[in-house]
Structure 1
Amino acid sequence: MSVDNDQPLLKVSGVSKFYGRRPGCLDVSFSVYPGEVLAIVGESGSGKTTLLNCISTRLAPTTGTVEYRMRDGRRGDLYRMSEAERRVLMRTDWGFVHQNPADGLRMTVSAGANVGERLMAIGERHYGNIRETAAGWLERVEIPDDRIDDQPRAFSGGMRQRLQIARNLVTSPRLVFMDEPTGGLDVSVQARLLDLVRGLVNDLGLAAIVVTHDLAVARLLSHRMMVMKEGRVIEQGLTDRVLDDPREPYTQLLVSSILQV
């Protein structure tokens, strides 16, 4: 492992979020390293989405810090940055894949324009280059090139999700957040999408944080996982260890009731 990869890309320290007196997440700390995929799992209401929103700057935590290592090696506290600095990160170094692709796409512009917009955000201005790159990414996510001028609303759910992935990855981000990326899709579509995501993450050397209630998704995609219950992380470790030898009774219950192996 290089010296660069030996340093955390994202470091979360003591993050809590309260809605009034009700905790969304409580005193969560962890680090994510370059090229690592972390799954955050738990039932509905466990706090996993609140945590994801706090660490991706979509929701300010009540307490705690979230630090990110920039490309120049400098560490920045995300909540001490300006809004403009955070927006630049979200357009360039980060991706965010929503459960509902409509939340991450512009539904009234073409598939090609959805991908091209991210390139324009990092300074690309040559129309031919933008279109060529967009076409290449559509092919990479298994969308036929003759659909480049079609709007996402004409696509199936699985195609929309693949388009959202292309839109996020075209800028070569270093960290991608995924919120229930296979939620709402048919099982056969889920399987193809997961194979695609796993291949892209490996090929590009991305770090990713994946929120899911589906332990099969966590097993397929992640190196490490954290189990949440009532806002707290109750167990964490290498994915295979947690799933094959869960130590907490709650994790044992999750594995026995949900995971099909």
Structure 2
Amino acid sequence: MTEPLLRVRDLSKFYGSRMGCADVSFELWPGEVLAIVGESGSGKTTLLNCLSTRLEPTSGLAEYRMRDEVWRNLYDLSEAERRFLMRTDWGFVHQNPADGLRMTVSAGANVGERMMAVGDRHYGRIRSTAIEWLGRVEIAEDRVDDEPRAFSGGMRQRLQIARNLVTHPRLVFMDEPTGGLDVSVQARLLDLIRGLVADLGLSAIIVTHDLAVARLLSHRMMVMKDGHVIEQGLTDRVLDDPREPYTQLLVSSILQV
């Protein structure tokens, strides 16, 4: 792996005079998981939405190495190219799984839709692959025809993960993937995500306010405050030896809980 998968340079987003994020630069390597952490209003979600092209940045550059090894500036892609990228090479796991699922079609159809988006039209193969992926995210085969609204929050989140990963993307964005779930459900889901990321060799960018989630899932961490990245490095180093006072405060506040 001589080249990264994603290169970001001086990325900034302003909402009029209000700053969302400013001057963010980093590289993401194949198989690497990057956690973006910070309190509410720190700019981490704005950054994630810019990286995933859901928002157009005010300035800066984000280049992605396509499967043909050609580097493309994400903000020069056409709308059709961006949609294709999101259906094939990328995934996006929302905090609220209802935002990432079609709630009125079956669990199997939610997974199968993603396969059809990349050209698969064989019903038997789509259904069998959907059942296989439901099993991988710990959803029983006999739930394949149930609609997501009949599922618990944790099951919906697992279904959303299956829907995203069935096309074997190279990069997955995750926005507070365990937010709003009970602690026991969070723990099982985190184990599941960690296993799938390792098995599939995925790169992932995870936004979270939970430092325990960041430690469990990520190799590297960026800490944001007031729209700026104030500290970054290997996750264990940042958490065990934080250098910035703000990072020290975040870590100590978790330890005191």
- TM-score in terms of structure 1 length: 0.97
Aligned to 1:164: 160
Q: 1:92 aligns with which of 84, 88, 91?
A: 88
Q: Following the alignment from structure 2 to structure 1, what is the Cα–Cα distance between the partners of residues 39 and 63?
A: 27
Gapped regions of structure 1 (runs ≥ 5):
none
3-state SS of the aligned residue for 1:6? coil
The answer to whether the aligner puts 1:110 opposite 2:99 as a matched pair is no
CA contact (8 A) 1:214 1:259 kept: no
Identity %: 82
Q: Deviations over 1:224-248 (max 9, x none)?
A: 0000000000000000000000000
- Contact 1:39 / 1:212 at 8 angstroms: preserved in 2? yes
Establish whether residue 123 from structure 1 lines up as the match of residue 111 from structure 2: no
Q: Corresponding residue for 2:53?
A: 57
Q: Work out the number of aligned pairs and report it.
A: 257
Structure 2 residue ranges without an equivalent (≥5): none
**Of 32, 37, 46, which aligns to 2:33?**
37
Letter aligned with residue 110 of structure 2: N
Q: Does 2:147 correspond to 1:151?
A: yes
Q: Which residue of 2 aligns with 1:186?
A: 182
Runs of 4+ in 1 over 6 A off after TM superposition: none
Q: Superposed, which structure 2 residues align to 1:1-261 within 5 Å?
A: 5-259=1-255
SS of equivalent to 1:34: coil
Partner Cα distance (1:216, 1:90) in 2: 28
Shift of 1:258: 1.9
Q: Is the Cα–Cα contact under 8 Å of residues 6 and 33 in structure 1 kept in the other structure? A: no
SS of aligned partner of 2:223 = strand
Contact between 1:9 and 1:68, CA under 8 Å: does it hold in 2? yes
Q: What is the CA deviation profile of residues 11-35 of structure 1, one whole-angstrom value per residue up to 9, with x for unaligned ones? A: 1111000011010001100010000
Would you say the 8 A contact 1:42–1:213 is kept in 2? yes
Task: State the 1:6 CA deviation.
Answer: 2.0
- What is the DSSP-based 3-state SS (H/G/I as helix, E as strand, rest coil) of the residue aligned with 2:42? coil
- Relative to 1, partners in 2 of residues 1:146 and 1:79: Cα closer, same or farther, differing over 3 Å? same
Q: Which amino acid in structure 2 is aligned with residue 19 of structure 1?
A: Y
In 2, Cα distance between equivalents of 1:186 and 1:137: 23
Partners of 1:238 and 1:259 lie apart in 2 by 19
Matches of 1:84 and 1:259, distance apart in 2: 46
| Residue 260 of structure 1, CA deviation | 7.3
Give, in whole Å, the separation in 2 of the partners of 1:173 and 1:218.
21
| C-alpha distance in structure 2 between counterparts of 1:154 and 1:169, whole Å | 22
Q: Report the CA distance between 1:259 and its aligned residue.
A: 4.7
Residues in 2 aligned to 1:121 and 1:18: alpha-carbon distance in whole angstroms: 34
Give me the whole-angstrom Cα distance separating, in 2, the residues matched to 1:6 and 1:202: 20
TM-score, normalised via structure 2 length? 0.99
> C-alpha separation between the residues in 2 aligned to 1:77 and 1:115?
29
- 1:255 partner amino acid: V
d(CA) in 2 for partners of 1:105, 1:6: 36
What CA deviation, in whole Å up to 9, does each residue of 1:55-99 have, x standing for no partner? Answer: 000000000011000011000001111111111100000000000
